[in-house]
Amino acid sequence: MMFGNNQPDGEENNWRYQLNRFVKANQQELAALAWGFWQTNSDRQEVLLIDLKPTPHFIACPKQELEKLNEKIDNHIQEILGVVDNYQAEKEVVMIGVGNSQLKLIQFAPEPPPPICYEQLAADMNALVELLEKRMFEQIKV
């Protein structure tokens, strides 16, 4: 991809472009979801994933499974694991998108920070998940 080019670099990667647009349009809600997930994930051994197939949905993935995957694919996602391990939930959002048998790291620092986004939305987690999954379904076509 060339700098400044916002268009997808091939049909098989179009999902990445659509996911980027979705994340940008829903930063506050995703930050609230990430903070709520972090609060319920007391042992910090799970990562929030956006799985785009069969329809876009959120899943919790044990870090251990990502480590196993990394071993199987010759450490090609080592950088993603480094970001996940150094995740600062009170300042940033870290999730992983899954589409077309590929992974995409989602990382951003929202303004306001995730705890404030969570307080401002004051929605229950199930309602927030439903809202975001509905928006993903409408905006992302894989």
Q: Which amino acid is at 124?
A: D
Residue 64 is classified by DSSP as: H
Domain boundaries, the chain: 27-139
- Among 88-92, 99-103, 120-124, the range scoring the smallest mean pLDDT is 120-124
Convert the pLDDT of each residue in 29-79 to its tens digit. 999 999 999 998 877 889 999 999 999 999 999 999 999 999 999 999 999
pLDDT value at position 98? 95
Predicted pLDDT at 3: 35
pLDDT score of 142 more than 90 = no
pLDDT of 6 strictly over 90? no
Between CA 67 and CA 72 the distance in angstroms is: 9
Q: What is the pLDDT of residue 1?
A: 32
Instruction: Decide if 50 contacts 58 (C-beta within 8 A).
Output: yes
Averaged pLDDT for residues 82-88 = 94
CA dihedral 134→61→82→23, nearest 10 degrees, is: 0
